[in-house]
């Protein structure tokens, strides 16, 4: 087995504090606010103001059906106000599943002998990315186990390799490449984050898994790198200090009680905001899925029922109005479809998490647990998913403009807050939708897509902007020009 030194705790961020105040959270979760107070909190969030943990706790404790309905309604409204009806698409690329850790819930953990271990060669990585480009993807997240073979230099190199792949469309002559490569990788030191930032990563995503100290210790053996709660908790702060200012937080729901985890997530967002003037770019909330060699009933002792899961998403929407919410294909289609309406702004589609599994665009792969990290719940292809969104009033978007124009971190927050985002995001959603329709859509998706595009273009109030967007859409339709963003 490969060895990696345990984390050096002298290398924490400048802020370096454990903000997870368990006694406070537990106390807050026992207090019930009166209906009048809860209505005031909901009104505050309607104004797009982030909520405190006390206010978040009040929403979590509310169990009257009409208040819960009001929370959903407000989440729907807020999502519309901040993000419009766009849904941004991405797909993960699993680069390698060697791992020195032994997380109880993960199929990649070192003691799982059933897992087939694999790391993509450069050629294989290129082939995988090419297959994803041939489906229409423009944004990916590269996922790695934790292993000495996957140090920051290796991650940086794979990111550069992903950016380098080009695919020329045989019919339209357009040239496709990944426009934003995010990573989901184990915590690094400042030096490591600088190296991956240099390679041009978009978001750095790291999930705390659980913020509950005792549960964290049970799930992550102490003699492993991941066993160090504080090294992981501090990693988003180190990333920001090193220039990776789009960070993605997350909890693996099912390990500890969900209301506790929501308070901790919101505390993490507030902590980053207070220290670095930038909150998390995204929050993810995977629920534990069956995985090879995982005793799911022993691990997922606090599994979340669907109705609580949806309520959790709505409450997060209210608490952190400017943070993108991601729901992955771990969840079944019926849950994803509902969540899209009141909180979620990013989804993956056509996802294959088997290493080297992207081969034949449009075909659903046979899932095999010993070759992947866990079972996915939504196997729809990208085209199916796009058609579904188009039929239900959403605009699918492949936009990657903000990151490429330097609208990240604190600057992104400035853009996001006054609601400017809609003026740039909707136009970019429409031009990238046209790219998808011209290059990759099935005839059925193309037909509905053209109608939606025409309808959305009519909605522009600013005539100059409408003309600019129409001009770009026409250029994409009639030439091989692509990537015309605002």
Chain residues that interact with ligand SAM, rule: CB under 6 A:
105-106, 108, 143, 145-146, 184-186, 206-207, 209, 252, 286, 288-289, 291, 294, 330, 373-374
Cα–Cα distance, 412 to 407 (Å, whole number): 5
CB of 143 to ligand SAM, least distance (A): 5
The dihedrals phi and psi of 118, each to the nearest 5 degrees, come to -155, 140
Cα–Cα distance, 416 to 213 (Å, whole number): 33
287 binds ligand SF4 (CB under 6 A): no
- Tell me which of ligand SAM, ligand SF4, none is bound by residue 88, counting a contact when its beta carbon lies within the kind-specific cut-off of 5 to 8 angstroms: none
How many CB atoms lie under 10 A from the CB of residue 358?
A: 26
- Tell me which of ligand SAM, ligand SF4, none is bound by residue 185, counting a contact when its beta carbon lies within the kind-specific cut-off of 5 to 8 angstroms: ligand SAM
The residue from 226, 311, 371, 388 that contacts ligand SF4 (CB under 6 A) is: 226
CB of 243 to ligand SAM, least distance (A): 20
- Residue closer to ligand SAM by CB (options 88, 252) is 252
Cα–Cα distance, 262 to 313 (Å, whole number): 9
Total residues contacting ligand SF4 by CB under 6 A comes to 10
Percentages (nearest 5) of helix, strand, coil residues in the chain = 50, 10, 40
Q: What is the rounded (10 degree) CA torsion for 380, 384, 385, 388? A: -130
CB of 284 to ligand SAM, least distance (A): 8
352 binds ligand SF4 (CB under 6 A): no
CA 92 to chain centre: 10
- Residue closer to ligand SAM by CB (options 74, 292) is 292
Cβ atoms of 140 and 92 closer than 8 Å: yes
Cβ atoms of 114 and 292 closer than 8 Å: yes
- Tell me which of ligand SF4, ligand SAM, none is bound by residue 109, counting a contact when its beta carbon lies within the kind-specific cut-off of 5 to 8 angstroms: ligand SF4
- Tell me which of ligand SF4, ligand SAM, none is bound by residue 330, counting a contact when its beta carbon lies within the kind-specific cut-off of 5 to 8 angstroms: ligand SAM
Query: Which residues fall within 8 angstroms of residue 385, CB to CB, at 6 or more apart?
Result: 89, 347, 349, 350, 396
255, 280, 295, 365, 460 from 288: Cα distances, Å: 8, 22, 11, 21, 42
- Tell me which of ligand SAM, ligand SF4, none is bound by residue 387, counting a contact when its beta carbon lies within the kind-specific cut-off of 5 to 8 angstroms: none
- Residue closer to ligand SAM by CB (options 105, 154) is 105
Q: Which two tokens stand for residue 269?
A: 């967002």
- Residue closer to ligand SAM by CB (options 332, 393) is 332
- Residue closer to ligand SAM by CB (options 310, 390) is 310
Cβ atoms of 305 and 227 closer than 8 Å: no
CB of 93 to ligand SF4, least distance (A): 14
CB of 296 to ligand SAM, least distance (A): 8
CB of 300 to ligand SAM, least distance (A): 8
Q: Which two tokens stand for residue 485?
A: 């963003």
- List strand residue ranges (DSSP E) for 299-349, in order: 324-327, 346-348
CB of 279 to ligand SAM, least distance (A): 20
Cα–Cα distance, 462 to 334 (Å, whole number): 37
- Residue closer to ligand SF4 by CB (options 229, 440) is 229
Cα–Cα distance, 296 to 254 (Å, whole number): 10
Cα–Cα distance, 351 to 1 (Å, whole number): 30
CB of 57 to ligand SAM, least distance (A): 24
472 binds ligand SF4 (CB under 6 A): no
Assign residue 419 a region (left: φ > 0; alpha: ψ between -120 and 50; beta: otherwise). left
- Residue closer to ligand SF4 by CB (options 372, 483) is 372
- Residue closer to ligand SAM by CB (options 374, 398) is 374
CA 414 to chain centre: 21
142 binds ligand SF4 (CB under 6 A): no
- Residue closer to ligand SAM by CB (options 185, 424) is 185
Cβ atoms of 433 and 382 closer than 8 Å: no
- Residue closer to ligand SAM by CB (options 25, 231) is 231
- Tell me which of ligand SAM, ligand SF4, none is bound by residue 131, counting a contact when its beta carbon lies within the kind-specific cut-off of 5 to 8 angstroms: none
- Tell me which of ligand SF4, ligand SAM, none is bound by residue 437, counting a contact when its beta carbon lies within the kind-specific cut-off of 5 to 8 angstroms: none
86 binds ligand SF4 (CB under 6 A): no
Cα–Cα distance, 378 to 351 (Å, whole number): 8
Residue with tokens 């160090």: 228
Q: At what angle do helices 421-439 and 409-416 cross, to 10 degrees?
A: 100
Q: What is the rounded (10 degree) CA torsion for 456, 462, 463, 468? A: -70
CB of 374 to ligand SAM, least distance (A): 4
- Tell me which of ligand SAM, ligand SF4, none is bound by residue 206, counting a contact when its beta carbon lies within the kind-specific cut-off of 5 to 8 angstroms: ligand SAM
- Tell me which of ligand SAM, ligand SF4, none is bound by residue 278, counting a contact when its beta carbon lies within the kind-specific cut-off of 5 to 8 angstroms: none
CB of 94 to ligand SF4, least distance (A): 10
Cβ atoms of 367 and 405 closer than 8 Å: no
Cβ atoms of 426 and 365 closer than 8 Å: no
The residue from 106, 183, 244, 402 that contacts ligand SF4 (CB under 6 A) is: 106
- Residues contributing to the site for ligand SF4 (CB under 6 A): 99, 101, 103, 106, 108-109, 145-146, 186, 226
């Amino acid at each position: 087995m490969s060895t990696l030194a345990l984390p050096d705790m002298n290398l924490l961020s400048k802020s370096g504090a454990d903000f997870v105040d368990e006694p406070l959270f537990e106390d807050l979760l026992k207090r019930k606010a009166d209906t009048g107070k809860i209505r005031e909190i909901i009104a505050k969030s309607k104004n797009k103001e982030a909520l405190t943990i006390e206010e978040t706790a009040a929403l979590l404790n509310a169990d009257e059906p009409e208040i819960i309905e009001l929370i959903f309604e407000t989440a729907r409204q807020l999502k519309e106000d901040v993000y419009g009806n766009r849904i941004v698409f991405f797909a993960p690329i699993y680069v390698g599943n060697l791992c020195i850790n032994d997380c109880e819930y993960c199929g990649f953990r070192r003691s799982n002998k059933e897992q087939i271990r694999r790391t993509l060669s450069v050629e294989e990585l290129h082939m995988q990315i090419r297959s994803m480009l041939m489906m229409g993807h423009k944004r990916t997240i590269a996922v790695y186990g934790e292993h000495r073979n996957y140090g920051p230099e290796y991650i940086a190199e794979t990111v550069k390799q992903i950016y380098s792949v080009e695919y020329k469309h045989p019919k339209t002559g357009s040239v496709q490449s990944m426009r934003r490569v995010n990573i989901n990788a184990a915590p690094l030191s400042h030096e490591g984050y600088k190296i991956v930032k240099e390679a041009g990563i978009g978001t750095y995503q790291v999930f705390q898994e659980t913020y509950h100290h005792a549960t964290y210790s049970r799930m992550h053996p102490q003699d492993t790198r991941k066993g160090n709660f504080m090294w992981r908790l501090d990693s988003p702060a180190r990333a920001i200090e090193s220039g990776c200012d789009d960070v993605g937080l997350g909890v693996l729901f099912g390990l500890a009680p969900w209301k506790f985890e929501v308070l901790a997530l919101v505390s993490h967002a507030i902590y980053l905001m207070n220290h670095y003037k930038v909150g998390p770019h995204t929050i993810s909330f995977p629920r534990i899925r069956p995985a090879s060699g995982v005793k799911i009933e022993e691990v997922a002792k606090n599994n979340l029922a669907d109705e609580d899961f949806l309520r959790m998403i709505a409450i997060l929407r209210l608490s952190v109005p400017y943070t993108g919410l991601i729901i992955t294909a771990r969840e079944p289609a019926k849950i994803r479809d509902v969540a899209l309406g009141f909180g979620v702004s990013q989804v993956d589609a056509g996802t294959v998490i088997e290493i080297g599994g992207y081969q034949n665009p449009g075909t659903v792969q046979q899932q095999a647990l010993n070759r992947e990290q866990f079972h996915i719940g939504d196997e729809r292809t990208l085209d199916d998913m796009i058609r579904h969104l188009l039929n239900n009033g959403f605009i699918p978007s492949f936009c990657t403009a903000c990151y490429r124009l330097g609208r990240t971190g604190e600057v992104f927050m400035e853009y996001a807050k006054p609601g400017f985002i809609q003026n740039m995001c909707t136009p970019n959603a429409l031009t990238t939708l046209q790219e998808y329709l011209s290059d990759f859509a099935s005839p059925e998706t193309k037909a509905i897509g053209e109608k939606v595009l025409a309808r959305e273009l009519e909605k522009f109030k600013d005539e100059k902007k409408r003309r600019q967007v129409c001009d770009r859409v026409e250029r994409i339709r009639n030439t091989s020009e692509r990537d015309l963003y605002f």
